[in-house]
Amino acid sequence: MAMHLTSGLIGAEAKGPIGWLIWDNPSKLNALSPGMSEDALSVIEAYAADPAIKVVIMRGAGRKAFISGGDIKSFDKTRANAEAARLAREAPGKLRHGMLNLEKPLIAMIHGYCLGGGLGMALNADLRFASSDAQFSVPAALRGIAYAPEGLKSLVDLVGPSVAKDIMFSARRLKADEALRVGLINRVLDAEDLEAVTVAYAETLAANAPLSIRASKFFINQLGLERAQRDEARMDAMQREAENSEDFKEATRSFVEKRKPVFQGR
């Protein structure tokens, strides 16, 4: 698996069918610093190309934070004016695109702070599992930032317009129980149990039929688009591919033979 990582702030680790992406900037509570988005995209692309990896989990190093936000000290350079800000958005935009189009489930495992760009990053995942001490906010209203529409769309799709406005207007911090109630996250677990439960869940997904999961992710993302923008031809092709697949036959065979199916992804 070829990855060219240069920032020293991103970790990658493959364990069986699970690929880990680690935000590793602990001295700044894993704040998003220059170079991290580019490296994270290299990791995502490597996992996308590796058939042995079935599920990707991203996490922050340690248990204090997933990502505490952007590295504000770097804003002088990266957000000096509108043009600098546009360039600074390019790499995170490409990363977001890479995560949303990854044909494998992406889970965000969240300890502690998940703030600003960190919450934006967690929204790029398909699922969010959090520890009971996790905290969520988007402090754009405290920083004079007009938060980018693409990131807001993910937020609105999850929690609806009114809750999204509450989060954006107030910039307040939501604790894990409220984040769960409004649909921002999928599960809350004790910090001690978070990793074991997330890994067990990922292994469940890894044992399921890859073509089926890939189709579900693509179809559900497509359903978020206006009908005219949807790739109906690709959705039809993916349905036919699943209907004609070895895995479909194996599922039927294993049911008749009263055993667990073994899926090949073809």
pLDDT score at 4: 83
Q: What b/e readout covers 43-55, taking b as 16+ CB neighbours within 10 angstroms? A: bbbbbbeeeebbb
Rounded to the nearest 5 degrees, what angle is found at the Cα of 59, between the Cα atoms of 85 and 128?
90
pLDDT score at 79: 62
Q: What is the pTM of this model?
A: 0.94
Asked if 189 and 130 touch (Cβ cutoff 8 Å), the reply is yes
Asked if 39 and 1 touch (Cβ cutoff 8 Å), the reply is no
pLDDT score at 32: 94
Asked if 171 and 141 touch (Cβ cutoff 8 Å), the reply is yes
Class of domain 10-205: alpha beta
Domain ranges in the chain? 10-205, 208-256
Q: What b/e readout covers 190-207, taking b as 16+ CB neighbours within 10 angstroms? A: eeeebbeebbebbeebbe
pLDDT score at 88: 72
**DSSP single-letter state for residue 101:** T
Helices (H), 125-209: 140-143, 149-159, 161-170, 176-181, 191-207
Tens-binned pLDDT, residue by residue, of the chain (266 aa): 668 899 999 999 999 999 999 999 999 999 999 999 999 999 999 999 999 999 999 999 999 999 999 886 665 666 667 776 777 778 889 999 999 999 999 999 999 999 999 999 999 999 999 999 999 999 999 999 898 898 899 999 999 999 999 999 999 999 999 999 999 999 999 999 999 999 999 999 999 999 999 999 999 999 989 999 999 999 999 999 999 999 999 999 999 999 999 999 99
**DSSP single-letter state for residue 107:** E
